[in-house]
Amino acid sequence: MKRLRLGLVMISVACSPLFFGTVTEHSLLAAEESLTDEHAQGYSKFHSELKTRLGIKGGGNVRVSSHSGRFGRDLVMLQGEVILAHVEKRTGQVTGFLNKDVSRSRRQWLEEVGDDAPSKPVRDKREIRALARGYLKKLIGTPRPPGYVPEVTYSERGASKGEWRLIYWRTRNGRKYQLDFISVSIVDISGELSGFGRAPRSDACPTAVKLSAKEAKSRATEVAIAYVPKLFGKHEVGDVQAVSLESWIVNPNYLLTAKMDEPGYTRSWTPKARLAHVVTVSFVGRCHVIVWIDAATGEVLGGGWG
pLDDT digits (tens, 9 = 90+) for 9-19: 222 222 222 22
Mean pLDDT of 229-254: 88
Q: Residue 3 has what pLDDT?
A: 30
**Integer angstrom CA distances of residue 170 from 66, 125, 149, 204, 206:** 27, 20, 6, 11, 15
What is the amino acid identity at position 59? G
Q: Residue 21 has what pLDDT?
A: 28
pLDDT of residue 216 exceeding 80, the answer is yes
Q: What is the rounded CA–CA span in Å between residue 120 and residue 127?
A: 15
Residues in CB range of 80: below 8 A, 6 or more apart: 47, 51, 58, 60, 61, 62, 63
Stretch(es) of the chain classified as CATH 3.10.450: 213-305
Q: What is the rounded CA–CA span in Å between residue 242 and residue 261?
A: 27
Q: Residue 1 has what pLDDT?
A: 33
Q: 217: part of which helix (H) or strand (E)?
A: helix 213-232
In a 3-state reduction of DSSP, which class is residue 282?
Answer: strand
- 285 or 140: which carries more pLDDT confidence? 140
Q: Residue 193 has what pLDDT?
A: 97
Mean pLDDT of 244-261: 93
Q: Residue 250 has what pLDDT?
A: 97
pLDDT of residue 114 exceeding 50, the answer is yes
This prediction has a pTM of: 0.81
Mean pLDDT of 31-56: 80
pLDDT of residue 223 exceeding 80, the answer is yes
Q: What is the rounded CA–CA span in Å between residue 282 and residue 220?
A: 11
In a 3-state reduction of DSSP, which class is residue 218?
Answer: helix
Q: Residue 117 has what pLDDT?
A: 86
Alpha helices in the chain (DSSP H): 25-32, 37-54, 100-113, 125-140, 213-232
Q: What is the rounded CA–CA span in Å between residue 104 and residue 119?
A: 18
Mean pLDDT of 2-10: 29
Domain 213-305 has CATH 1.50.10: no
In a 3-state reduction of DSSP, which class is residue 156?
Answer: coil
Q: What is the rounded CA–CA span in Å between residue 197 and residue 27?
A: 23
Q: In which band, very low, low, confident or very high, does the pLDDT at 8 lie, cut at 50, 70 and 90?
A: very low
Mean pLDDT of 30-54: 77
Q: Residue 97 has what pLDDT?
A: 95
Q: Residue 26 has what pLDDT?
A: 29
Terminal Cα distance for the chain, rounded: 53
Q: Contact 216/245 with Cβ under 8 angstroms?
A: yes
φ/ψ of 233, rounded to 5, equals 55, -130
Q: Contact 145/217 with Cβ under 8 angstroms?
A: no
Q: Residue 282 has what pLDDT?
A: 95
Q: What is the rounded CA–CA span in Å between residue 42 and residue 31?
A: 12
Q: What is the rounded CA–CA span in Å between residue 280 and residue 291?
A: 6
pLDDT of residue 144 exceeding 50, the answer is yes
Q: Residue 190 has what pLDDT?
A: 96
Which of 86-90, 131-135, 204-208 tops mean pLDDT?
A: 131-135
Q: Contact 69/95 with Cβ under 8 angstroms?
A: yes
CA 278 from centre of chain: 19
What is the amino acid identity at position 79? Q
Q: What is the rounded CA–CA span in Å between residue 47 and residue 193?
A: 16
φ/ψ of 69, rounded to 5, equals -115, -170
Q: What is the rounded CA–CA span in Å between residue 127 and residue 121?
A: 11
Residue 61's CB: how many other CB atoms inside 10 A? 9
Sign, CA dihedral 184-185-187-192, equals negative
Least confident span in 16-30, 203-217, 264-278? 16-30
Residues in CB range of 24: below 8 A, 6 or more apart: 10, 11, 12
